Structures are given as C-alpha cells and as structure tokens.
Structure 1
Amino acid sequence: MKRPGPLFTLLAGLLLGLFMLSLNATTGSEAVSSTPKKKPPTAAASPAPTKTTTPPSPSPSRVSVPDASYAGRTDDDSSAVAVTVRDRKAIAYFCDGRAKESWLKGDVKDDGSMRLTGKNGDVLNGTLKEGKRISGTADVGGGHYGFTADKAKKPGGLYRATATVRGAKVDGGWIVLPGGKQVGIVTRDGDPQAAPVIDPETGAVTVDGQQLTARPATP
C-alpha cells in the first residue's frame, strides 16, 4: 500500500486552514453583533418661554351724574358761574354782571370731569363731586378764574331769554345764586349791559319795555 503523497498532505492542510479561518470569522461577527450599541445622549428639552402680559390700565371710576343745575361764584368773587347737566351733557354760563360773559358747552365724562368750550377759545374745566358741587377753573376773556358751584335748589340755577325787541336781537343770561341774588347780562345786537331782574318763579322780565320770559337753560 502506498503512502499518501506530499500533494495530498498539502491539500488536507489547506482545507483545514480554510475551515478554521471561516470558523473564526463567523465567531467574530457574532461577537461584534452581540455587543449592544450605546444610544447617543438625548438633549434636554428647553423650557417653553413664559409670556409676560401687561396688566390693563385701571379704568376711571364711574360716578353718578344726576340731572341738576349748579350755581356759585369765582374764587375772587368777581363773577358768577352756573352749570346745568342733562343726560351727561352740560351747558355753562360765566358772567360778571357788567360786560364779560361766556356760554360754554360739552360732555360730562364717566369720572365726573368736564371740559366745556365756548367762543374765542373760552374753556371751563370742572369736576362734579359727589353730585353736590362742581369745582374747577374758567378761562374767559383772557382771565383765569377758579370757581365752586353748589347744587342749586329751585328757583336757583341758570336762565336764558332770546328775542327780537324793537328790531334789535336780544340775548339775556341770568344766574340765580343760593339766597336769591341774581347776576346777568343782556346783549342787544352785541352790546352787553347789566340785565334787569327776572321773576325766578315765572321767568318774566321786561327788556326795553317788552316783556320776555327767561327759561331754564339746558344743553
């Protein structure tokens, strides 16, 4: 019997080497694949930005604005001021009883304040306090006057009469103060003069021999 030749021995060794090489490769692949992969760290979520809201501005407090008339004098006692309020609208009359007068009008705001305007830039700024009086300032005819007008009881308050007398246009204004004193001016075609006294109970007044009726002035 012949012994295997060198060629057979070489082939057997080559096959054994290939087998071992394949086995090592398979084992290494399984070892690598079985190693768990680490997950990348998750970034911490940023907190949602908080919204800042500006608190609303407080609205002015609403006060009671009764329908009423107010009458009083300026702080220097040179003139009289009367204001009549109806449905949150106001009309005012400033009068010194000789030559200076002004009619003004405007609205009363929720907080009781008012800015009334007249001709030639005249302005009255006032504030209604507790429904009992109006205090403020009047800028009339280049003068600046502080005033206080208390709530008037009938027949006190503001009166006005307009008519044509002997061809002249007549416009009269009267302020009946607490205690009954009257301050007024009658203008005849733009010429102001001290007004005659009215009957506050009826409003009757005689101007240049003609009887007129002064009525409560309203806005």
Structure 2
Amino acid sequence: MKRSGPLYTLFAGLALAVFMLVLNASTGESAPSYAGAPGDTATAAPASPAPTTASPSPSASPSRAARAKTSYAGRTDDDTAAVSVSVRGGKAVAYFCDGRTKESWLKGDVEDDGSMKLSGKGGATLDGTLAGERIRGKVTVGGRPYGFTAKKAVKPSGLYRATTEVRGAKIDGGWIVLPDGRQVGIVGRDDELSAAPRIDPRTGAVVIDGAELTARPVVP
C-alpha cells in the first residue's frame, strides 16, 4: 500500500495537467468577428458619404448688374447729345439731352439678359443692352434715331434732376455729368426749354432764376 501512494499522486498530477491544458485551449480560442457586433476589436471602415455636387456660384451676368444701383453716361454716336441711364432692381430711368432745346425722360424694365426697352413722352423710345460696364443702344426722340454708348459712371458722374417752383413757374431741370467732367443739361420753365446752368457735382447745388436749388441723383 505504501507503493501505491506515489502512483496515485503521479496519476492525479497527470490528470490535473491534462485538465489544465484542455481548459487553456478552450479559453484561449478567439470568437469569430462579425461586422457591427458589440465588442468587435476590428471596426469596419465607415462608408464614404456620397459626393455632393455644389451648386455653381453665379458668375457675373447682366442680371446681377441690372439689380445693382448703377448709372451710365455717354454721348450719342454723332456727338450731338448725351444719354444717361440709371438702373436699379430691374428698373431703368434714362435721360436724353442735347443741352439746348431737345430732351426726353424715359423709363422701363431691364430684362435678365440685360436688354431694355424704355419709353417716354411723344413716342420717345430707347432700346439698349447692358453688357459688362456699358450700355449700347439706340434712342429715338422726335422721330430721329441716335445710336449711343453709355459707360458706367463713377460719382460725381451720372444723372441728376431738380424740380421745384420758382416765382410761380414750374422748374424741371435735368443734368448729365459725363466721366470727363463735362455737363449737359436743360431746364424747363413751364415746359419752355433752355440750356441749364452748371451744377456743383459734389453737392448738386445750382442757382436757377436767383433761387438756390439742389439737383439730386436720379434713382428708378
């Protein structure tokens, strides 16, 4: 019986060793990984978002220029008169003036493509196109057509007007200040037309028949 003791001890140790090997093998086996399963050590790469197409930024166009507050001034092709056009919000006011006895105020819409058809008293018309920093077109006054080019005006260039009453007479004066500083204007006294005195382009101040007036920029 004394000899069987070590053998039992040896067998018990071997059994314990086998048990420990089996236990280690079973606990050391890694579980299969499933995308999205909790506890995953490897995470699937996030899907790239679908590319978005950015809306093209609006380029400079006649429609944008037509919405801005801008004045244009220039001479007729035959250099006998001046034309100025004031544009804002798709509306336009124009003035044709020869500085002596012929003038016309016209108004109308500016289309998105820059085209405009303005009209005034006595059948006066202006057909023009706004492109870049100028308006090219034709104005017809008194049945006579005049081609013209009006370039973008930088203050104090532009279109001015003063209306009031002096000594019982209705005064209506219009002035075009050209980019080179020249002025072309007419004053109507109860519809009697004559050359207008110069205005101060910085302030619009002008004296008509002894009365101090202020000519202001024309806005549609």
Report the alpha carbon displacement of residue 141 of structure 1 after superposing the two structures with TM.
1.2
Q: Quick one: distance in 2 between partners of 1:63 and 1:155?
A: 25
* Aligned counterpart, 1:8: none
Counterpart of 2:114, as a letter, is G
* Aligned counterpart, 2:169: 168
Q: Quick one: distance in 1 between partners of 2:147 and 2:106?
A: 16
* Aligned counterpart, 2:154: 153
Contact 2:62 2:131 in 1 (8 A): no
* Aligned counterpart, 2:89: 87
Q: Quick one: distance in 1 between partners of 2:215 and 2:159?
A: 9
1:70-104 deviation line (CA, Å, top 9, x unaligned): 00000000000000001110000000000000000
* Aligned counterpart, 1:129: 131
Q: Quick one: distance in 1 between partners of 2:64 and 2:103?
A: 29
Q: Quick one: distance in 2 between partners of 1:155 and 1:145?
A: 25
Question: Unmatched 5+ residue regions in structure 2?
Answer: 1-60
Question: Unmatched 5+ residue regions in structure 1?
Answer: 1-60
Report the alpha carbon displacement of residue 64 of structure 1 after superposing the two structures with TM.
2.3
Report the alpha carbon displacement of residue 165 of structure 1 after superposing the two structures with TM.
0.5
Distance change (3 Å), C-alpha of 1:62 and 1:154 = closer
In the superposition, the TM-score normalised over structure 1's length comes to 0.71
Report the alpha carbon displacement of residue 63 of structure 1 after superposing the two structures with TM.
3.5
Q: Secondary structure at the match of 1:64?
A: helix
Report the alpha carbon displacement of residue 62 of structure 1 after superposing the two structures with TM.
6.3
Q: Secondary structure at the match of 2:63?
A: coil
The number of residue pairs the alignment matches comes to: 158
Counterpart of 1:175, as a letter, is I
Q: Quick one: distance in 2 between partners of 1:175 and 1:150?
A: 12
Distance change (3 Å), C-alpha of 1:62 and 1:143 = closer
Q: Secondary structure at the match of 1:201?
A: coil
Please provide the CA RMSD for this pair.
1.0
Distance change (3 Å), C-alpha of 1:184 and 1:63 = same
Q: Quick one: distance in 2 between partners of 1:179 and 1:137?
A: 22
Contact 2:156 2:177 in 1 (8 A): yes
Contact 2:62 2:130 in 1 (8 A): no
Report the alpha carbon displacement of residue 142 of structure 1 after superposing the two structures with TM.
1.6
> Bigger radius of gyration, 1 or 2?
1
Q: Quick one: distance in 2 between partners of 1:134 and 1:123?
A: 15
Q: Percent identity?
A: 67
Partner of residue 102 from structure 1, selected from 87, 101, 104:
104
Report the alpha carbon displacement of residue 202 of structure 1 after superposing the two structures with TM.
0.3
* Aligned counterpart, 1:73: 75
* Aligned counterpart, 1:64: 64
* Aligned counterpart, 1:211: 212
Q: Quick one: distance in 1 between partners of 2:123 and 2:134?
A: 25
1:117-137 deviation line (CA, Å, top 9, x unaligned): 00011000000012x000000
Q: Quick one: distance in 2 between partners of 1:62 and 1:96?
A: 29
Counterpart of 2:136, as a letter, is S
Counterpart of 1:83, as a letter, is V
Report the alpha carbon displacement of residue 218 of structure 1 after superposing the two structures with TM.
1.1
Q: Secondary structure at the match of 2:200?
A: coil
